[in-house]
Structure 1
């Protein structure tokens, strides 16, 4: 078994562990620079320009799968530092380049860097913390992702006042994070019997990844569809839609910080509460022809994912094979990335089945919630009988 060393962590070490997550989900943060970038490259199709904000997801998924193997060879701490170094160098490369092809390649390299430390940011918490302390740290980590997106989106807007190249300076944040992490975080210790273990996944991990795939698909669809619902439905302007999306992000951030306290009270019911809140938010968005109802639904969805998603990652160490936490985290994160990728397709399928994508989302989420509650009730009943 792995040893958690959560007895007396310094505040600086905790912040250093969490700081990695500030930059994990910032790949699309330069989206605001794309219209100006398109003017600079008139011979490049708009589809290719748009891929600058998303192409890194491809290499992120690839390196999520091998980051554990690399960490086994050179250590978790060195792998994270290497990933941050690649992220910083590749991320700021477009500041100095006028070649679209070179910029495109740099974005693929950015994905390699993020992919190297993406799952390890969670594995470090799994290995250094335990119990309620770990649950709170995982919640804080989720909130830090949202905080990073909020801050860097704001910084991108300011840098665009200079020119679109400068927007890519935001990835320079990787360098101070790397130094901060290296200075204050010890190399996570794994018991000798697990160091040489062949990492593998089991059915519970796969099912958890599929659940996260669906939840992220729904969460992404809500963020993407809200502007159309607000503007096309004459409920408000694009600025109003942007404000509502910001409230969704802030709700997610708040729930991330509160997760530890909620988990301490709700325990195993945390997951179904999260899926039910997302179901409730989806039905409010799908049926509400009122700006306030749609806004409420969007905010509820913002609260929901950190509850369900953070619980899933917290559960991983209990259900994954011993010594396979890194691979397990990678599989869950691949589920999250695939969910984001297939979101437009998934919503269209739900719309064809139910006539409205959000109503279809509500029905499936409600079924999932009931299924989770039933499974947990049966599991606990069997456990009591076994112990008796």
Structure 2
């Protein structure tokens, strides 16, 4: 059996998360794909967002499929990665929009099939500081994967065309082989004797008490995940339009800053373990505070492009401080045999946020009486910033109240 503490085995655990954000790899190909297939802008964008819809369904079905067919965590992950590789490569060979859209839906099913297990497997194989570090690295692996696949697909597009850019999904089979060879396959994920850490104390949980049911706090974390991603994806989606509004219709430099945004998110994931070790649950306040600052810089920048870019580049770092914390709390809020379920619920929150972010932003624009064009695209973000501060205050007073009750 591989040593779970070895760096190679840890990299094998993390490698499957490298592919889970690869749905965004084709963003650079959309203009060429749109022209070649004769489709609308909205139809082309659905090729990027449709996988998120399938993820929401299959993160729920995945634990049920696993239970019905008695499939181990390792095997369900390998099945999901295989589906990602096969479905991802379909557009290499077809020119029909509906066929490509269906392949993207199946691609999302592959992500959903294994995403929660990739996280819950870390939660049960590792504990304490090592678990926090691995969850932070997992978040960083997602950002590195998105940046790497986006870059590779873009390079292929430049030299070969939009069809060939889908060849980036060959990487799924490389990940599959690495994971299969290095990650042990056993039933530790079903072991109820998972070590607990001190984070649960912030919610008034008793460390000495065996966890037998799912805490209601899990459902608050799902809502929390939804709101975080609404903000993050909203800023990512609206930045190119605002960049053109400030710099002119021929400006094409927004892609570079979106890539740099992912670097900030990667740094957040890498630093999470060290920051959480020092600040503990205070990490959530640091993350929410920096996210709020990012929204205010972005939303109030006006025609100051530099301030807007600073706001954009800042938001990824705190998001990756807060999102690993959500998963790090779960082992203290549900029994080990329910970890895939609660992890799936939080992933649904994240994917719902990504899928509905444009609609939430549009509603906010209407609420603020701002147009869905030009500088009006920045209108939702000060509102989001205030919302984040309110959430931080609610968490602070709720945890303080629980701590007083526990004493």
Q: TM-score, normalised by structure 1?
A: 0.90
The residue that corresponds to 1:297 in the other structure is 311
Q: Deviations over 1:108-136 (max 9, x none)?
A: 21112111111111011011100010000
Is 1:66 aligned to residue 61 of structure 2? yes
| Higher mean C-alpha displacement, 46-55 vs 367-376 | 46-55
Is 1:185 aligned to residue 183 of structure 2? yes
Is 1:362 aligned to residue 375 of structure 2? no
Is 1:379 aligned to residue 379 of structure 2? no
Are the equivalent residues in 1 in contact too, given 2:37–2:95 (CA < 8 A)?
A: no
The residue that corresponds to 1:288 in the other structure is 301
In structure 1, the gaps of 5 or more residues are: none
Q: 2:142 aligns with which of 136, 142, 145?
A: 145
The count of residues paired between Structure 1 and Structure 2 equals 375
Q: Does the residue aligned with 1:296 lie in a helix, a strand or coil?
A: helix
By how many angstroms is 1:65 displaced?
Answer: 0.4
Distance 2:27 2:267 in 1: 24
Q: Deviations over 1:245-293 (max 9, x none)?
A: 2222111101111110000011011112111111111111111232222
Q: Deviations over 1:353-381 (max 9, x none)?
A: 45631121111111111111222222233
Distance 1:48 1:90 in 2: 19
Are the equivalent residues in 2 in contact too, given 1:201–1:321 (CA < 8 A)?
A: yes
Q: Give the 3 Å change call, closer, same or farther, for CA 131–297 of structure 1 in structure 2.
A: same
| Higher mean C-alpha displacement, 211-220 vs 312-321 | 312-321
Q: Give the 3 Å change call, closer, same or farther, for CA 267–7 of structure 1 in structure 2.
A: farther
| Higher mean C-alpha displacement, 239-248 vs 264-273 | 239-248
Q: Does the residue aligned with 1:97 lie in a helix, a strand or coil?
A: coil
The residue that corresponds to 2:9 in the other structure is 13
Is 1:171 aligned to residue 185 of structure 2? no
Report 1:315-334 matches (<5 A): 315-334=329-348
The residue that corresponds to 2:355 in the other structure is 341
Q: Does the residue aligned with 1:139 lie in a helix, a strand or coil?
A: helix
By how many angstroms is 1:294 displaced?
Answer: 1.6
Report 1:202-221 matches (<5 A): 202-221=215-234
Q: Give the 3 Å change call, closer, same or farther, for CA 363–353 of structure 1 in structure 2.
A: farther
Are the equivalent residues in 1 in contact too, given 2:125–2:189 (CA < 8 A)?
A: no
Q: Does the residue aligned with 2:49 lie in a helix, a strand or coil?
A: coil
Are the equivalent residues in 2 in contact too, given 1:235–1:291 (CA < 8 A)?
A: no
The residue that corresponds to 2:364 in the other structure is 350
Distance 1:263 1:177 in 2: 29
The residue that corresponds to 1:228 in the other structure is 241
Q: Does the residue aligned with 2:95 lie in a helix, a strand or coil?
A: coil
Distance 2:277 2:217 in 1: 23
Q: Deviations over 1:158-186 (max 9, x none)?
A: 11120211111111111111111111111
Report 1:36-185 matches (<5 A): 36-42=32-38, 44-72=39-67, 73-160=70-157, 161-185=159-183
Structure 1 vs Structure 2 CA RMSD:
2.3
Distance 1:133 1:193 in 2: 19
In structure 2, the gaps of 5 or more residues are: 194-211, 370-378
| Higher mean C-alpha displacement, 255-264 vs 72-81 | 72-81
